[in-house]
Structure 1
Amino acid sequence: GLASIRRTLQRTNSGGLTTLPTKTKSSERRIALPTPCLRSLEQHRDRQLQEREAAGTGWRDSGYVLTRPDGAPIEGSTLTRHFNTLLRRAGLRHIRFHDLRHSTAILLLEQGVELVVIKELLGHAHIGVIATVYAHVRLRLQRDAIDLLGHALRTPAETPGKPDDSDEPPLCTVPVR
């Protein structure tokens, strides 16, 4: 149930597609995968075994999870082309593939996930990157938090017909999200 990020695949001027170390040591990490992702990867593995059989001796065992039908690594430009096709078919606006990373960070922030956890998931070396890049989201979340606090501090309406003779403080309710 974990994905291990240990290397990066980049196109270089001299060597074509080349496996290189990650940008920083903190970029090397393990990420827990949600169950739907695991199921999808299992289905992909089954399809890839069929591709391997079909390719026969032409199969290139690259060791990568996502490959071309002959087992060779997928070019970044090919991935981008396929991604753009999927966006068009789904009727979604054009975004860069890398924008999925930003969307992940924003969704996690909005769900209340700690900055340090997001930093580790994305492989950033410093938490300040997350805090700076996503400051606009944090401000919106702060406004939401202050609105919740204001709601919690509001004096509840007195119940008609029942005088409050107790020494107990009034009950307050806070919506839980």
Structure 2
Amino acid sequence: TWNLANGEPASLDWILAYSDSENATLANMCESLMVQNEDMTLSPGLAERIDRPDDKTMVITIRDGVKFWNGAPMTTEDVVFSLSRNLDPKAGSYWASPFYDRVDSIQATGDRQVTVRFKQPDAIFERMLSTAAGVIGNKQFVEHAGSAYGTASGGIMCTGPLRFDSWKPGKTIEMT
């Protein structure tokens, strides 16, 4: 049981998670590609590793064997979809500017590889992948839920240690 400092989250959709209440809740359910450690260093999360072949290219190798709560495997299609939602102006991602401003493209380039190309070098993008800006959701679930994704009626679908069970607005968000 937590008492969230800023009250009930407005949404559990990771692209709309920017305050303490949303992020405290999501951090227990939704994993990001990277993890920020206590000493501020980064470690792999859902990414197995990140390579930087040049200053405008990032190649993300995703961990093998990751599954969403519904049993679906996490794929490069889920990763491209999840990151690309931050580039869609209609989606209204709170992370779009300034954190995705320099992203030129996000593409699957192998069975377990996603390549991000930048318009110009970007020194903070990898660090942002340890926040909600780097959360990976199940594409099929998000698309099926549509505009209800991240709400009490639409729920969420992630890979994290706690699973979303229910949201009773004004009362509780329950996780297992």
Band the TM-score falls in, shorter-chain normalisation? under 0.3
Calculate the TM-score normalised by the size of structure 2: 0.23
In terms of fraction of residues, the more strand-rich structure is 2
Larger RCO, structures 1/2 (Cα 8 Å, 6+ apart) = 2
